[in-house]
Amino acid sequence: MANKRKLTMALQALYLTAGLTLTNSLEVQPAIAQSSAVQAGYSFLERGWVDDAIQQFQQAVQQQPQSVAARLGLAVAYQRAGRDSEAWQAYQQVLSLEANNQPALTAIGQLGSYRPEWQAQGILALTQLLQINPDDSAAQAQRALLLGYQGRFAEAIADYERLLSNRPAPATILAAAQIYTYSGNYRQGLALFEQYLATGQPLSAAGATAYAQTLQQAGRPSEAIALLTQRLQSAPDDLELRSALAVAYQSNQQTEAALNTLAPLRDRPDARLPLARSLSQIARQAGETALYREAVLLYQQALVATANPSPGLVTEVADVFSEDPDFQATALQIYDQLLTASPYQPALQTKRLILAAELGELTPLELRSQLLSLLQPLPDDATLRQQIGQALIRLDHRDPALLPIYQDLIAAATPVDFLYFRLAQIEMAQGNWSAASAAIAAYQATPAGQQDLAAGLLLAELERQQGNLAASAQQYEAILSQSQSPQMIETALLGLSGIRQSQQRWEAALAAYEQILSRNPQSERGRLGQTYLALKLERLSVAAAETVLHDWLAAHPRLTPAEVSFELLDLVGALPPDAKRQTLYETLLAIAPDHIGVNRRYVQWLAQTDKAQALAYVQQLTQAEATPVGLYFVQGEVAQTLGELTLASQAYEAVLTQQPENTDALSALAGVRFQQRRLRQAETLYEQVLALKPQDWETRRILAELKLAQDQPIAALQQFSDLQGAEEASSLEQPPAHRIQHIEINFLRRRGFQPFWERY
């Protein structure tokens, strides 16, 4: 979920000079009056006697219902008296008599910022006014503001771009800074705030709130805290300032201070929306599910309490709902309603497709096809591209076919830093290590990337995929020493457990899951992972592990892709094949078709009744025209399980045809050659792996074993000696020292000697 900021009613403070100009334009000279009552009304207005003016204009309207001057005067008088609702109706009546009455159009545009339900009509009035006077900068500034209120950022920014190119007043710069910020373009927002502050003009409360957001995004949360604290001291009842300060504290990893700041807003109906916004952001950053659920319920209440909510607010609510599994179906319905009202919204369409895929309504291939159709080519409008980039943040789907979308967005200088992160993930999925490393470096050079420890997580994964397991573990450990976020700590521990499993350090892997559970006993991934490893280490019975799986499945009756974790897949893949799990196997394979463990169990279950059917299943895995590389690995692994070494060999060779330096495929093919007793070919393949990953300890160990299998004990002895002292060696059942001893004993036996302990 994006951290998208929405406009709030606090932006009503943007009345600025443009608003004053609009008010002044409402002066209507008495010369146009058509009766003595009208003349008297305008005379009273000039003197500031507003109540008297209202009485005169009411009388004039009764006498002359079709008089534009009388109704306009009455509307102006109502507005001067602060009777906004009556003024709004009176101006509507003026337009019913004279559709292009410019003072009435101007006033409706101005009043549009008073109430959310008036904004859309205010925009229409100002658009009509600009058709009459295209150079009316005051009208354009007010329309941009209302468009911002509605969350129609592309249109708002189009207006501001025109205004900013023509020596804008400071007030216009301030308004534009806020709109750019709330649209998510923090770089441009910060630049405009700095431009405004250079004029020496003070910040409004709404301006301070938005400026604080740009400071946080620039990695300066302490400055944001100082600014908002000072403003809140002089306005302790300002809801927006208080909620913004809480978010600033959270950006500085001060969760307790953030929640304490929000405490006065609890149980205040008028604070529902700002409180919901703050809690949702705090919950995302802190990984607090209970806080997020509270935010969802507050959003729900705020939406019900808002008459004619703007599309921007409705979209905001749907975005928040989309991150809560219990409300995702509702979010999808809201997206559909918004798209029915306004079909061409590529960013909203992108969100809808991603959510539909998460709910299992679209397959990965269908998602890919529809995203490419929607986003290739990208829209010309820069703001629309920015919104698309923000929508794609949610998509954690490393499909290489989507790479052109990310590349095009980055080439267009789209101000969404996280695009580099997604680009790195896709490059990694293709084994493009240097490109992935460059994308990570580019992300870390951005303001967002400098603050985001997730870049370290990605680097750890990159090291793992290159076989640098020790370096990967160091990355995870560095994150654990730096982060205070429970969510980040759990993610790092999950990654570290995966590394320890790759190193076959099962005890250390299990300890990582146990640490997760000690911090958060409710962690589902922690529980599933602990169960999987305890089963593997024979510390848990199959029956007990099946109970854990059964309980988890009972709590998740409708499996969605978002609910399927590596730990779940590994546990299902570790349990014996069972006909009762047929539906589960098929559901999981529809979501994760390249998981070897689940495929293995599914094929084993098939093979229990019909080996031919099992083999047919394996063969069809790679029949698609554009078969993902992962499926060749599945085919090779399962074919090995069935003893079909020729098919396994063909699968790994197919991978190497596409990716000649794929070390996993080289290692797997070497394993097949070993099973075929083609030991010299296996050795050559392992040497290729070692040339690509010189620090791959496991490959070096296997090469030593191969030397032994080829009856080259001296070479094997040397290679095992080189491996002594390595960290990975300590966890093996037979570390290098034991293998060395075994080889030396065999030397003695070959030469006719008998170790002294075997003589008795």
Assign residue 564 a region (left: φ > 0; alpha: ψ between -120 and 50; beta: otherwise). beta
Whether the predicted pLDDT of 203 surpasses 80:
yes
Residue-level pLDDT at 21: 34
Q: Which domain holds residue 746?
A: 701-760
Residue-level pLDDT at 36: 81
476-497 average pLDDT score: 90
Higher pLDDT, 445 or 638: 445
pLDDT-based confidence at 737, cuts 50/70/90? low
Q: Taking Cα atoms as reference points, which of 559, 555, 560 lies closest to residue 355?
A: 560
Host H or E run for residue 22: helix 16-24
Residue-level pLDDT at 626: 65
Residues 6+ apart with CB under 8 A from 458: 421, 424, 425, 428, 440
pLDDT-based confidence at 486, cuts 50/70/90? confident
| Range from 41-45, 249-253, 538-542, 615-619 carrying the lowest mean pLDDT | 615-619
**How many residues comprise the chain?**
760
Residue-level pLDDT at 622: 80
Whether the predicted pLDDT of 467 surpasses 90:
no
The answer to whether residue 756 is domain-embedded is yes
Q: Which amino acid is at 235?
A: A
Residues 6+ apart with CB under 8 A from 232: 238, 241, 242, 245
Contact 154, 384 (CB under 8 A): yes
The answer to whether residue 748 is domain-embedded is yes
Residue-level pLDDT at 759: 42
How far apart are alpha carbons 616 and 621 in whole angstroms?
Answer: 9
Q: What is the pTM of this model?
A: 0.70
Instruction: For residue 650, count other CB atoms closer than 10 A to its CB.
Output: 17
CB environment 179-216: b (16+ within 10 A), e (fewer): bbbbbbbbbbbbebbebbbeeeeebbbbbbbbbbbbbb
Residue-level pLDDT at 313: 92
Residue position matching structure tokens 């009613």: 9
The tokens describing 533, both together, are 């490893």
Instruction: For residue 33, count other CB atoms closer than 10 A to its CB.
Output: 22
Higher pLDDT, 677 or 463: 463
pLDDT-based confidence at 735, cuts 50/70/90? low
Q: What is the pLDDT of residues 115-152, one digit of tens each?
A: 888 999 999 999 999 999 999 999 999 999 999 988 89
The answer to whether residue 728 is domain-embedded is yes
Last residue of a domain, one of 282, 308, 334: 308
The answer to whether residue 709 is domain-embedded is yes
Which parts of 467-625 fold into alpha helices (H)? 469-482, 486-502, 506-519, 524-536, 542-555, 566-574, 582-591, 596-609, 611-620
How far apart are alpha carbons 559 and 549 in whole angstroms?
Answer: 13
Q: What is the pLDDT of residues 404-451, one digit of tens each?
A: 999 999 999 999 999 999 999 999 988 899 999 999 999 999 988 988
CB environment 435-446: b (16+ within 10 A), e (fewer): bbbebbebbbeb
How far apart are alpha carbons 186 and 99 in whole angstroms?
Answer: 40
Give CA torsion, residues 443, 445, 449, 451, to 10 deg: 170
Higher pLDDT, 632 or 701: 632
Higher pLDDT, 696 or 150: 150
702-713 average pLDDT score: 62
pLDDT-based confidence at 719, cuts 50/70/90? low
Q: Taking Cα atoms as reference points, which of 552, 9, 624, 558 lies closest to residue 277?
A: 9
pLDDT-based confidence at 698, cuts 50/70/90? confident
The answer to whether residue 712 is domain-embedded is yes
Mean of the per-residue pLDDT values for the chain? 86
Q: How far is CA 654 from CA 102, 111, 166, 631, in A?
A: 72, 67, 60, 11
Q: Taking Cα atoms as reference points, which of 472, 489, 538 lies closest to residue 695?
A: 472
Whether the predicted pLDDT of 8 surpasses 70:
no
How far apart are alpha carbons 1 and 24 in whole angstroms?
Answer: 44
Residue-level pLDDT at 718: 60
Last residue of a domain, one of 293, 308, 323: 308
How many Cα atoms occupy the beta-carbon half-sphere of 99 within 13 Å? Answer: 5
**What is the tally of structural domains in the chain?**
2
How far apart are alpha carbons 306 and 327 in whole angstroms?
Answer: 19
The answer to whether residue 411 is domain-embedded is no
| Range from 197-201, 329-333, 536-540, 748-752 carrying the lowest mean pLDDT | 748-752
223-241 average pLDDT score: 94
Q: Taking Cα atoms as reference points, which of 554, 547, 549, 603 lies closest to residue 577?
A: 603
266-292 average pLDDT score: 91
CATH number of the domain residue 271 falls in: 1.25.40
Last residue of a domain, one of 254, 277, 308: 308
Q: What is the pLDDT of residues 614-623, one digit of tens each?
A: 888 888 878 7
pLDDT-based confidence at 33, cuts 50/70/90? very low
The answer to whether residue 281 is domain-embedded is yes
100-120 average pLDDT score: 93
Q: What is the pLDDT of residues 152-179, one digit of tens each?
A: 999 999 999 999 998 899 999 999 999 9
Residue-level pLDDT at 732: 47
For the chain, percent of residues with pLDDT exceeding 70:
87
Whether the predicted pLDDT of 335 surpasses 70:
yes
The answer to whether residue 350 is domain-embedded is no
Assign residue 467 a region (left: φ > 0; alpha: ψ between -120 and 50; beta: otherwise). left
661-666 average pLDDT score: 88
Which parts of 34-81 fold into alpha helices (H)? 36-47, 50-63, 68-80
Q: Which amino acid is at 629?
A: V
pLDDT-based confidence at 640, cuts 50/70/90? confident
pLDDT-based confidence at 29, cuts 50/70/90? very low
Residue-level pLDDT at 50: 92
351-379 average pLDDT score: 94
For the chain, percent of residues with pLDDT exceeding 90:
62
pLDDT-based confidence at 709, cuts 50/70/90? low
DSSP sequence for 278-324: HHHHHHHHHT-HHHHHHHHHHHHHHHHHSSS--HHHHHHHHHHHTTS
Residue-level pLDDT at 712: 60
CB environment 352-367: b (16+ within 10 A), e (fewer): bbbbbbbbbebebeeb
Whether the predicted pLDDT of 454 surpasses 80:
yes
Higher pLDDT, 466 or 10: 466
